[in-house]
Structure 1
Amino acid sequence: MTLKDHGGNIDQAMARHGGASSDWLDLSTGINPCAYPIPDLPSQAWSDLPTISNKERLHKAAKSAWSCRGEVLAVSGAQAAIQMMPHFAPAAGLPGRHAKILTPTYNEHANVLRLAGWNVEEVSQLEQLADCDLAIVVNPNNPNGRLYQPEQLAALLPHVGRLVVDESFMDCETGYSLTTDTDKDGLIILRSFGKFYGLAGIRLGFVVASPQDIRVFNQLAGPWPVSGAAIEIGTTALSDHKWQNETILRLRKDAARLDILIQLSGATLVGGTPLFRLYDCPNAAVFQDQLAAHHIWSRIFPYSQSFIRLGLPGSQKDWEKLETAIKSIQKG
């Protein structure tokens, strides 16, 4: 069994290129570098087991934030929901173990299903997802930011056993979300909290689906799937519409700034979201090493020799560090 490639592997960067963690600017993830300010938490959030009523407060905040028609279940990150999928599907009465995934995309969907013995077929066109037990689409897609209209995805529902739409990077693209359709049988939406809110460390994510499907996920998740601290932070942040709107505008502005800067190196924009950008360059591994010489870590992919993905710098110091590196690469 092999580990799949991921961003956030700063330990590997240090092992290869030296330096302490404080020396590095990690742009290998799509996590908002300007995190939501953590509110003061009641002592019970740390000392007591989470209560059902507190968890329901979080669910209510998520339903309101995303205009969900279906039910919501908080879990310890969107990845936790992905880990449940191989076990959820048979429990939900699907006739077989045949999954189709629209690729290239986040590799853990295929990984966890294959490890559980599923037949996984990777397809490149949306219409090719028909006729399977489990169809999976990441929207917006990671790493190229590809977006599908809600009606395009909803049209698949009569032709698949279950449709899973991973909306982990949807917060800046609200018009494309399918959460308003989650009262429909067979539709499951996964949402991340840590990426947009910049708090990946609290491990919070959500499943949005019909009541009967949420019941199955709830059984798989166990009695305390999220911490008291995550409940309190998530409830506050999901209700903070002013911060959300300001953050969307800032992320879009910073993404455009990053595009202009990186294209000075000769790389061209392929796509992305306001939280990460995907570029094409002559040799992605060389470009990654050039940035790493300045202690800046990026993301490259085993299926492409030319794709490199970068998250956004946060502080002015981080922007200056990246600008210095790009100018050095230009001169070289």
Structure 2
Amino acid sequence: MSEHPVTLVAHGGNLHEAAQRYGIAWDAWIDLSTGINPHGYPVPPVPPAAWRRLPEDGDGFAACAARYYGAPHARHVLPVAGSQAAIRVLPALLPRASVAIAPLTYGEYAPAFARAGHAIVPLDVERDTLPEAVTHAVVVNPNNPTAAHLSAARLLHWHAQLASRGGTLIVDEAFADAFGHDRSESLAHATSREGLVVLRSPGKFFGLAGARCGFALGAPALLAALRAHLGAWTVSGPARHAVTHAFEDSAWQSEMRVRLAAESARLAALLRVHGFAPYATPLFAWIADPRAAALQDALARRAVWTRRFDAPASLRFGLPASEDEWRRFESALAQAMQAIG
């Protein structure tokens, strides 16, 4: 029997489960349980060769990602089957030690490091100097679900501390694309440094979560070890086609950032009307409230699905996909607030 039994981490997007639990047809729901852009990139038709041929490293996919993210070179970029694939494997490639992870952040990191034999300690993001006992650290920036954002200067300061101890800083920038293409706030440009790994995902901003495509950015030796564990053909031909077009469409990116900023402001304003103090990114808003479980249930009974967290009691809201969904959500939220008192 494994010392660390495999447990499934709860995530948003589990709409079939909600539909079954509440007895409401799947297609009747408004799914606000993820932070995925509901206005996904319009992928052009997939050429037949993308289906027929095995993906090849020489197709320029890593170079395209390096240009988009601002990485030093294509050799510092490894395409993976969603950043989740890298999260599962990276801990086994690092020396076993203490790893600092925020108590409320993306839930896959702590189990992955625990399975690999690391000791998990809480990350205090207010500290300028990390405790000497900490060798590795994981930062989701901006954080999911709290929307907290740390400066590149703070993160590079932490990286220098960890690197001097033979450690590694992993920065998950899955939600960074929506803030604008300000490369000074991403650490992608710094991934030639040993002991720094940046994970990126086109699934959130581009709304391409179903493509199961992500990127690990870091030193070539570590990426080579990661690739050896993951094996060949980690990203399919159709996914490469979709993501390449998305990365090269700067006009769509600019227009979408404006749209998401406006919709995020609308979501935050709606939550404030009901007395909440939301923290937001362009793709989701998060509220901490002791009534979170009751509010999630009340919304679910009105066919609105949200993501709940227990410590602290809180809810994360994604963006409605259409004006009709906005109207339905506004009405459901008002009714739910009345129901929970």
Map residues 152-191 of structure 1 onto 2, 5 A cutoff. 152-160=154-162, 161-173=167-179, 174=182, 175-191=184-200
Please state if 1:6 is matched with 2:21. Answer: no
The match for 1:244 is 253
3-state DSSP of counterpart to 2:34: coil
Q: Is the 8 A contact 1:36 1:198 kept in 2?
A: yes
Q: Is the 8 A contact 2:43 2:245 kept in 1?
A: no
Between the two proteins, the alignment pairs up a number of residues equal to 323
Partner amino acid for 1:210?
A
The match for 2:65 is 62
Deviations 1:24-83 (A, max 9, x none): 1110100000000011111011111111222xx221111111111151111010111101
3-state DSSP of counterpart to 1:195: coil
Q: 1:115 to 1:287 in 2, by over 3 A?
A: same
Unaligned runs of 5+ in 2: none
Deviations 1:142-161 (A, max 9, x none): 11111111111111223221
The match for 1:97 is 97
1:262 Cα offset (Å): 2.1
Q: Is the 8 A contact 1:142 1:272 kept in 2?
A: no
1:189 Cα offset (Å): 0.2
Q: Is the 8 A contact 2:130 2:161 kept in 1?
A: no
For 2:195 and 2:232, locate their aligned partners in 1 and report how far apart those are by CA, in whole Å: 24
3-state DSSP of counterpart to 1:197: coil
Q: 1:7 to 1:129 in 2, by over 3 A?
A: farther
The match for 2:322 is 315
Please state if 1:257 is matched with 2:259. Answer: no
3-state DSSP of counterpart to 2:176: coil
Taking structure 1 as the reference length, what is the TM-score of the superposition? 0.92
Between 1:313-322 and 1:209-218, the stretch displaced more is 209-218
Q: Is the 8 A contact 1:59 1:74 kept in 2?
A: yes
Q: Is the 8 A contact 1:100 1:135 kept in 2?
A: yes
For 2:292 and 2:140, locate their aligned partners in 1 and report how far apart those are by CA, in whole Å: 23
Please state if 1:290 is matched with 2:292. Answer: no
For 2:177 and 2:289, locate their aligned partners in 1 and report how far apart those are by CA, in whole Å: 28
1:282 Cα offset (Å): 4.2
1:261 Cα offset (Å): 1.5
Map residues 223-234 of structure 1 onto 2, 5 A cutoff. 223-234=232-243
The match for 1:146 is 148
Taking structure 2 as the reference length, what is the TM-score of the superposition? 0.90
Partner amino acid for 1:59?
A
For 2:175 and 2:237, locate their aligned partners in 1 and report how far apart those are by CA, in whole Å: 24
The match for 1:117 is 117
For 1:194 and 1:145, locate their aligned partners in 2 and report how far apart those are by CA, in whole Å: 17
1:317 Cα offset (Å): 1.5
Between 1:217-226 and 1:196-205, the stretch displaced more is 217-226
1:246 Cα offset (Å): 0.9
Partner amino acid for 1:43?
P
Query: What is the RMSD of the two structures over their aligned residues, measured on CA atoms?
Result: 1.6
State the identity %: 37
For 1:104 and 1:200, locate their aligned partners in 2 and report how far apart those are by CA, in whole Å: 22
For 1:185 and 1:132, locate their aligned partners in 2 and report how far apart those are by CA, in whole Å: 17
Unaligned runs of 5+ in 1: none
Partner amino acid for 1:192?
S
Query: Which aligned runs of 4 or more in structure 1 are off by greater than 4 angstroms?
Result: none
The match for 1:212 is 221
For 2:205 and 2:87, locate their aligned partners in 1 and report how far apart those are by CA, in whole Å: 19
Q: Is the 8 A contact 2:83 2:200 kept in 1?
A: yes
Partner amino acid for 1:67?
G
For 1:162 and 1:213, locate their aligned partners in 2 and report how far apart those are by CA, in whole Å: 11
Please state if 1:48 is matched with 2:56. Answer: no
